[in-house]
Amino acid sequence: MENLSTEKKALCSPGTIWVCGKSSDGQLIINNNKDGTINSLTPINEKEIFPFGDKIKWIGAGDHFTIFVTRSNVVYGTGENRQLGLDHCEILQGITRIPFFDHKHIVNISCGANFSYFLEEIQDKQYLYVCGKNTRMPLGLGETDEMNVYPPRTVDLKFLEKDDSIHKIVCGYESVLLLTKKGVVYGCGSNTTNLLGIETETTDEFGGFAPVSVFTKITIFSMTENEKIIDMSLGTSYALLLSNLGNVYKSSYEGFIKIGLKFSPFEMIHYGSTNAFAKLSKESKHSGRIASLSSSDTFELAEDIPETQEVISIVGLAAFFFITKEYQVYCSGYNSFYELGLPKRAVGAATIIERHYEMEEIIKNTRNLNEKVIPTIVTGFNHTILYFKSIESREYLRFFSNLEKHVYNDTILTDLTFNF
């Protein structure tokens, strides 16, 4: 099925990013319509936005902003300012370099609604930088009257156990979860519905819990002795945690409870602002299938994705995308601002999971040019970006970042061997 115009097909390349959705604050760099939307997948070549032939390494997106990290370790931001890392909150005129991060090796970005986290790694050391809106204290800086934090501040990592380090950071609307390499989970920020599973004093007659101002260890009492958390995902009101045994735990007023017993074990979880999905593991009788979480905390199989298609990636906040091992693309959810890259619907949404043929063809044509790139989708609340990562390990990227620091010191390295 041919769903890509000849003009768009000619623009497919590993150095092209594709954008759609809301761009009224410039979060997608370009803006095609008076209503501030980009109503179809639109290409932007890296050469148009980065000088000296620089290329994208990471992209992060929040409600009305986008952050880019390039392979030469330069950070750029566009869209709503305050959470980008600049030392001011003035309106930006297009994509802007963030000088604070010059010569820093950023290996991870996570964006909340109006705040951002940046993780730097230098050899065996980690540095965590935060900035943005701090009303419900999602920045982990402790009790403070500062509602807006910029330029970035450094989070003290003394709360980590000895010889442990950060593995993953997940930002929600006003909350944050942090997972370490030892499987320990910490949380901070808004906790009104006990989203973090950390009991604090109630703040109102409805039983809402107070925010957690510093990173605090989360305990899951129903986990077994040989069980640890290997992944996590954060929605607007609740969180999901995945253990090495394939169990899924969901936060509640009573703490984290085990759910999905009908289908477990699982091997992948994803919680957006509106929906949650999980992939069943090979040990399940529904191996590799995707299930959606219902309002009664039970999982139901997503029948719209064929059993023969193994999903390898799930992303999305209000608009969701599923990429399979064979690079088929499926989507579902809100499309009010064309964030799915689909034609406008009367109901402003794709109410079922449906196939996204145009995005598939972009991926197919790009991988025909270089099969070693990985299609990656990033979503803000109402905007979507498709780009292509190079297949390089975190260790490889970190090595060249450290090598870069020796350039001006006449350091000579010889007989290098890479084992990844």
pLDDT digits (tens, 9 = 90+) for 7-65: 999 999 999 999 999 999 999 998 767 788 999 999 999 999 998 889 999 999 999 99
**pLDDT tens column, 280-305:** 999 998 999 999 998 889 999 999 99
* Strand (E) or helix (H) holding 48: helix 46-49
CA–CA–CA angle 31, 32, 35 (5° rounding): 80
DSSP 416: -
Q: How many CA atoms lie within 13 A of 55 on its CB side?
A: 11
Q: What is the dihedral of CA 387, 63, 131, 395, to 10 degrees?
A: -20
Q: Cβ distance 234 to 177 under 8 Å?
A: yes
Q: Cβ distance 114 to 63 under 8 Å?
A: yes
DSSP 202: B
Q: How many CA atoms lie within 13 A of 266 on its CB side?
A: 29
Cα(185)–Cα(168) distance, integer angstroms: 10
pLDDT score, position 296: 86
Answer whether residue 413 shows pLDDT above 80.
no
Cα(186)–Cα(342) distance, integer angstroms: 38
pLDDT score, position 415: 39
Mean pLDDT of 409-418: 38
Q: How many CB atoms lie within 10 A of CB 117?
A: 27
Residue 79, helix vs strand vs coil:
strand
Which residues lie across from 19 on neighbouring strands?
Answer: 42, 385
Q: Cβ distance 198 to 172 under 8 Å?
A: no
Q: Phi/psi zone of residue 391: left (φ > 0), alpha (ψ -120 to 50 degrees), beta?
A: beta
Burial category of 305 from C-beta neighbours within 10 Å (exposed 0-12, middle 13-18, buried 19 and up): buried
Q: Cβ distance 129 to 154 under 8 Å?
A: yes
Please give the full DSSP string across 219-239, using - where no structure is assigned: --TTS-TT--EEEEEE-SS-E
Cα(163)–Cα(161) distance, integer angstroms: 6
Q: Cβ distance 59 to 387 under 8 Å?
A: yes
Select from 388, 400, 396 the least CA-distant residue to 363: 388
Predicted TM-score (pTM) of this structure: 0.91
**pLDDT tens column, 262-283:** 888 999 999 998 799 999 999 9
Residue 279, helix vs strand vs coil:
strand
Catalogue the E-assigned strands of 253-348.
255-259, 266-271, 276-280, 290-293, 299-301, 311-316, 319-324, 329-334
Per mean pLDDT, which range of 89-93, 170-174, 317-321 is the poorest?
89-93
Number of residues that this document lists for the chain: 420
Answer whether residue 376 shows pLDDT above 60.
yes
Only one residue has tokens 């803006």, namely 31
Q: How far is CA 113 from CA 63, 170, 236, 253, in A?
A: 5, 12, 10, 23
Query: Percent of the chain at pLDDT above 70?
Result: 91
Q: Cβ distance 306 to 297 under 8 Å?
A: no
CA–CA–CA angle 367, 379, 323 (5° rounding): 40
Report residue 221: phi and psi, to 5°. Answer: -70, -25
